[in-house]
Structure 1
Amino acid sequence: MTAYGLAHLRPPAVLPEDVFEYLERIQATLDPYGGKFVVHGSPVHVVEGEWPGALVVIEFPGLDAAREWYDSPAYREILRLRADHIPGDLVLVEGCGPDHDSAAMAAAMRAASVPR
């Protein structure tokens, strides 16, 4: 099942040199794990609530690959180049797949919430 790395980053107005080095090196850390950017630096159009910062979405072939990438020595070597300068949140999450049915999900959730 496809998995994603989602980052909500809040970069400063001026990026330090370390961040540019991180950007130059990150793709090489993703390649062995099948990681590819899906969203990276595009403007965010907020339609509900607030979204200060930027969104990054990286797609992986599966959750194991995403975890292996994040824990890899190659990524750990460059992580501080970003994390020391850009605060944010990062999650790894499995996708729902092409056959996902939100109505069936609601029915299962409803059934599970009925007191017995």
Structure 2
Amino acid sequence: MNHDAWRDFPGAPGAGARICRAVDVPVSGVASHDLDGFPVLLVASAEGVRAYVNACPHQYLPLDWRSGNILSADGATLRCSNHDAGFDACTGQGLDGLGQGCALDPVPVHIAGDWLVIG
């Protein structure tokens, strides 16, 4: 997995770009954000928040394009609402269906002051 692949997407913001206020980061579940055309998907769990480019590698449509219900009940799998591709919520690795052999592109994030930022 290329951890810098997110930088190759059109409109990819630079390090320090704000995604959302820290108080708005989900404690569990998923939340999608659009940063001037750059789609980010936040996945929150007891282990913390992970971020991915919100683009299924099959056709680069947002995972939640047809439905916001993309996280399995146990929080382990992200399911593309377009093609049913399955991805590990913690790693982004493809698990089944059209997700096999590919992965979501991770976006590094951290809390800086009152904001969740890229970098």
Q: What's the TM-score, normalizing by structure 2?
A: 0.27
Structure with bigger helix share is: 1
Return the structure number with greater relative CO, CA threshold 8 A, min gap 6.
Answer: 1
Q: What's the TM-score, normalizing by structure 1?
A: 0.28
Structure with bigger strand share is: 2
Instruction: Name the larger-Rg structure.
Output: 1
